[in-house]
C-alpha cells in the first residue's frame, strides 16, 4: 500500500472524563483505538499505520495492548502536547519512506469510518493531492449580526455550502511534510488548514455523519449502535 496513516492517539480525553485515556474504552469488546486502526488496516491501499501516544500511555501499549498492536502492525511513537505535535511526530517516523506516496491523518477517536468513505477520500486525494471527508451540517445555522443598539440579532447562513470536517484527511506525502515545515505554531483546527496556509486547496468528499468522534461518554452508546448496524450490513 502506498498510503501511510498517522493515527493521533496521544490525547488524554479530558471531556470524556474517565480515569484513563478514552481510547481505552471498548467498542464491541475491543479498545476504541484498535477499532479505528482496524478499519484502516482493512484497506489494501494502507501500508503503514503510525500511532503517536502519550508518555503516560506508552507502558499500556507496550504491555497490556502489545498483542493488539502487533496484530495490525502498528508503529507506536511518542506524541506531543497538542494534536499537531503528535501528527508532527508521526511525520518524523514516516521520514522519507519512498513507498509512501500519500499520508492519511485519522483520529484514533473515530472508530466508525466506513470502507466506502475511506475508499472515496483516498481516490479523491490521488486526484487532487489534498482531500478530506466532510459531513453536511445537519441543523440550521444562524450568524450573529451586531448593530450599535446592543441587541443580539442573527441572520440565516446558507448551510448548503457548509460541512463538518471529519477525518481521514489525506494529502500527498510531500505536501503534508511541507505544510508542517512551514507551520509557525499558530493554532489550526485541522491538518487541512495547515495545507491551505501554504496555498494548496483542499477538496472535500461527502461522507457519512456516522463517522463521529468519541468525545463525551454518551457518544459510546451511539457508537455501539452504529457499529452493530455496520457489521450486520457486512454479513448480509
Strand partners, 3: 46, 102
Q: Residues 95-134: x/- map of binding to ligand CTP (CB under 6 A)?
A: ------------xxx-------------------------
Cα–Cα separations (whole angstroms), residue 223 to 11, 113, 232: 19, 11, 14
Per rule CB under 6 A, is residue 154 in the interface with ligand CTP?
A: no
Per rule CB under 6 A, is residue 211 in the interface with ligand CTP?
A: no
How many Å apart are CA 30 and CA 104, to the nearest integer?
23
Per rule CB under 6 A, is residue 79 in the interface with ligand CTP?
A: yes
Shortest Cβ 232–ligand CTP spacing (Å): 26
Return the number of the residue (159 or 213) whose C-beta is nearest ligand CTP. Answer: 213
Q: Dihedral sign, CA of 187, 192, 198, 202?
A: negative
Distance of CA 200 to the CA centre of its chain: 20
Q: How many residues bind ligand CTP (CB under 6 A)?
A: 22
Binder among 215, 224, 229, 231 for ligand CTP (CB under 6 A): 215
Per rule CB under 6 A, is residue 25 in the interface with ligand CTP?
A: no
How many Å apart are CA 110 and CA 226, to the nearest integer?
12
Which residues, numbered 11-40, are part of the site for Mg ion (CB under 5 A)?
Answer: 11
Distance of CA 167 to the CA centre of its chain: 4
49 binds, among ligand CTP, Mg ion, none (CB under 5 to 8 A by kind): none
Of 55, 104, 110, 112, nearest to 79 by C-alpha is: 55
Shortest Cβ 168–ligand CTP spacing (Å): 12
Q: Are 166 and 110 in contact (CB under 8 A)?
A: yes
Return the number of the residue (11 or 79) whose C-beta is nearest Mg ion. Answer: 11
- Cα end-to-end distance, the chain, whole Å: 28
Sequence-ordered strand ranges (E) for 106-225 = 130-136, 141-146, 152-157, 163-172, 203-206
Shortest Cβ 146–ligand CTP spacing (Å): 30
Per rule CB under 6 A, is residue 234 in the interface with ligand CTP?
A: no
Per rule CB under 6 A, is residue 83 in the interface with ligand CTP?
A: yes
Per rule CB under 6 A, is residue 35 in the interface with ligand CTP?
A: no
Per rule CB under 6 A, is residue 226 in the interface with ligand CTP?
A: no
| List of residues contacting Mg ion (CB under 5 A) | 11
Amino acid at each position: 500500500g502506498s498510503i501511510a496513516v498517522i493515527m493521533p492517539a496521544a490525547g488524554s480525553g479530558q471531556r470524556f472524563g474517565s480515569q484513563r485515556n478514552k481510547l481505552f474504552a471498548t467498542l464491541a469488546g475491543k479498545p476504541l483505538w484498535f477499532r479505528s486502526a482496524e478499519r484502516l488496516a482493512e484497506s489494501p491501499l494502507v501500508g503503514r499505520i503510525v500511532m503517536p501516544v502519550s508518555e503516560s500511555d506508552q507502558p499500556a501499549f507496550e504491555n497490556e495492548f502489545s498483542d493488539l498492536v502487533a496484530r495490525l502492525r502498528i508503529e507506536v511513537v511518542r506524541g506531543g502536547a497538542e494534536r499537531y505535535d503528535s501528527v508532527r511526530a508521526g511525520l518524523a517516523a514516516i521520514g522519507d519512506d519512498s513507498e509512501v506516496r500519500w499520508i492519511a491523518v485519522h483520529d484514533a477517536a473515530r472508530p466508525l469510518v466506513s470502507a466506502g468513505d475511506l475508499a472515496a477520500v483516498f481516490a479523491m486525494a490521488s486526484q487532487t493531492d489534498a482531500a478530506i471527508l466532510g459531513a453536511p451540517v445537519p441543523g440550521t445555522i444562524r450568524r450573529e449580526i451586531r448593530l450599535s443598539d446592543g441587541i443580539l440579532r442573527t441572520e440565516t447562513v446558507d448551510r448548503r455550502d457548509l460541512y463538518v470536517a471529519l477525518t481521514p484527511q489525506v494529502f500527498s506525502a510531500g505536501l503534508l511534510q511541507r505544510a508542517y515545515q512551514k507551520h509557525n505554531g499558530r493554532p489550526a483546527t485541522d491538518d487541512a488548514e495547515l495545507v491551505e496556509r501554504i496555498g494548496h486547496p483542499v477538496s472535500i468528499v461527502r461522507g457519512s455523519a456516522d463517522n463521529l468522534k468519541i468525545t463525551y461518554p454518551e457518544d459510546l452508546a451511539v457508537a455501539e449502535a452504529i457499529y452493530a448496524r455496520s457489521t450486520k450490513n457486512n454479513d448480509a
